[in-house]
């Protein structure tokens, strides 16, 4: 086993098998005590994390960019801001309460009875995070765990383990018991051992297709999978072309396209196609890596990932696409690339690229747009641009995805929204309230009078 570094019982340490066992055992021991913490205590801890992240926001953004080597400071500023929002929303949710009153006396035989449902943590959570959101993905697992009163163990990507450790330290400094959180930068073999460990009954995974192997290895556990998708946007004939071009450019190339809800496919009503291409390409060209360009995208995570994007471009060109801009690779960097004249025979229109490549295709009808958007095996978000309310309602009904964004790109997200995919994009939802539901089970409490009323 390749042991690396971790954060266990409030200390940064080198990992050994014994250390990993200690971390899991401490989490298990802490489960009963943290589940009994009050809403006030949990909210106060979450608030203190917000303060800590806010005070050090710029320094944290720079450290995230430095540690990764491929994420830009600009992207990481947004990463820190959204992480702050996650903890803020979690605090608000805890304060408003997670319980539900049931009107059980709606039937005659329950006369005089009172009932409510409270959510109780299932047990310690194993959160497995990805490299493209070193702080934010960890925040989306840790903040709901605190809100739920559940210990949590984060297995981060080894590329950015420091970010998760830093967040865990902030949580402990805010008052969360040090035994109730751990970060273990371990290899795949050790991770699968944790997946099978009965002391970790909840698994929240963000990443690729290996998630299905995790589900197979833990059939009796509560497993949440966020596995990415092939984000699409449709610009209808009455859609705002200029807004769509600007927002799709931002949404297609954030983190150099290394985002699960990145805009990858764009379908444009044919009357708007040329105007959209002109505006979109102009916006994307402004993201090219040039000296002093604050809007330049960064490199890919490694050269292998860049070569994969390069193969998608070559495949598209072999099926008749044109490269409108970009298309050039220098080691691990791919210039922001737009291909036009895309069609369903191209891999880019059916498989997740996870890189700085967006394909644009004209469509001649609403039916064609919907058919193409739905022609993938799974989706998280799709976007639509239209001023027609009836069309918006229709498309919300016909598009198959975890979410439909009207007048916004597939990347549009507020962190209280239920976030997750359909089909091969996984199952379960993040977003503070929805993640708490993943980590807990409802318990119904019924109070009946001792004497009939």
Neighbour tally for 36: CB within 10 Å:
9
- State CA 91 to chain mean position distance: 19
Question: To the nearest whole percent, how much of the chain has pLDDT over 90?
Answer: 96
| pLDDT at res. 40 | 97
| pLDDT at res. 452 | 77
**From CA 20, how far away is CA 23, in angstroms rounded?**
5
For residues 347-371, average pLDDT: 98
- Domain ranges (residues) in the chain: 5-227+425-445, 231-406
- CATH fold of 231-406: Aldehyde Dehydrogenase; Chain A, domain 2 (3.40.309)
- CATH fold of 5-227+425-445: Aldehyde Dehydrogenase; Chain A, domain 1 (3.40.605)
Band (pLDDT 50/70/90 cuts) for residue 423 is very high
Q: Which of 336, 246, 254 is nearest to 290 (CA)?
A: 336
**From CA 328, how far away is CA 254, in angstroms rounded?**
18
Does 397 score more than 70 pLDDT? yes
| pLDDT at res. 154 | 98
Does 1 score more than 80 pLDDT? no
**311 three-state secondary structure:** helix
pLDDT tens profile 244-295: 999 999 999 999 999 999 999 999 999 999 999 999 999 999 999 999 999 9
For residues 410-420, average pLDDT: 96
For residues 348-354, average pLDDT: 97
Band (pLDDT 50/70/90 cuts) for residue 442 is very high
Torsion of CA 49, 50, 54, 55, to 10 degrees: -40
pLDDT tens profile 378-390: 999 999 999 999 9
| pLDDT at res. 3 | 47
| pLDDT at res. 293 | 95
Does 83 score more than 80 pLDDT? yes
- Contact of 443 with 119, CB cutoff 8 Å: yes
pLDDT tens profile 120-163: 999 999 999 999 999 999 999 999 999 999 999 999 999 999 99
pLDDT tens profile 186-232: 999 999 999 999 999 999 999 999 999 999 999 999 999 999 999 99
Q: Please indicate whether the domains covering 5-227+425-445 and 231-406 agree at the CATH topology level.
A: no
| pLDDT at res. 77 | 97
**6 three-state secondary structure:** strand
């Amino acid at each position: 086993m390749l042991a690396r570094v971790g954060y266990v019982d409030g200390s940064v340490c080198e990992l050994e098998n014994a250390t990993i066992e200690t971390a899991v055992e401490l989490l298990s021991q802490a489960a009963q005590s943290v589940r009994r913490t009050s809403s006030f205590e949990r909210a106060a801890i979450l608030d203190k994390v917000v303060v800590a992240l806010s005070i050090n926001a710029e320094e944290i953004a720079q450290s995230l960019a430095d540690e990764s080597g491929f994420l830009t400071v600009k992207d990481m500023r947004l990463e820190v801001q959204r992480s702050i929002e996650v903890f803020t929303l979690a605090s608000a949710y805890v304060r408003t309460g997670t319980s539900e009153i049931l009107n059980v006396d709606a039937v005659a035989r329950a006369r005089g009875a009172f009932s409510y449902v409270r959510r109780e943590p299932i047990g310690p959570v194993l959160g497995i995070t990805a490299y493209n959101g070193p702080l934010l993905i960890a925040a989306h697992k840790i903040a709901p765990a605190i809100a739920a009163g559940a210990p949590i163990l984060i297995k981060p990507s080894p590329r950015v383990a420091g970010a998760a450790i830093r967040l865990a330290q902030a949580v402990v400094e805010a008052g969360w018991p040090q035994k109730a959180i751990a970060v273990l930068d371990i290899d795949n073999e050790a991770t699968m051992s944790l997946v099978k460990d009965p002391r970790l009954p909840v698994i929240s995974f963000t990443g690729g297709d290996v998630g299905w192997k995790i589900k197979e290895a833990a059939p009796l556990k509560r497993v949440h999978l966020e596995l990415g998708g092939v984000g699409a946007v449709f610009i209808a004939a009455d859609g705002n072309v200029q807004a769509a071009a600007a927002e799709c450019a931002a949404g297609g190339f954030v983190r150099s396209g290394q985002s699960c809800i990145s805009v990858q496919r764009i379908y444009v009503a044919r009357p708007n196609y040329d105007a959209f291409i002109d505006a979109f390409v102009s916006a994307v060209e402004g993201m090219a890596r040039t000296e002093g360009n604050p809007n330049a995208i960064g490199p890919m995570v490694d050269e292998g990932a860049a070569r994969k994007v390069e193969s998608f471009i070559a495949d598209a060109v072999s099926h008749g696409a044109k490269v409108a801009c970009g298309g050039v690779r220098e080691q691990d960097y791919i210039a922001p690339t737009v291909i036009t004249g895309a069609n369903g025979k191209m891999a880019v229109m059916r498989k997740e690229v996870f890189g700085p490549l967006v394909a644009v295709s004209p469509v001649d009808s609403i039916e064609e747009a919907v058919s193409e958007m739905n022609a993938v095996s799974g989706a998280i978000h799709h976007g639509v641009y239209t001023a027609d309310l009836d069309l918006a309602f229709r498309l919300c009904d016909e598009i198959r995805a975890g979410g439909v964004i009207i007048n916004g790109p597939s990347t549009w997200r507020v962190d209280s929204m239920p976030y997750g995919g359909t089909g091969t994009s996984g199952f379960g939802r993040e977003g503070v309230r929805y993640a708490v539901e993943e980590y807990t089970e409802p318990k119904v409490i019924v109070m009946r009078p001792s004497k009939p009323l």
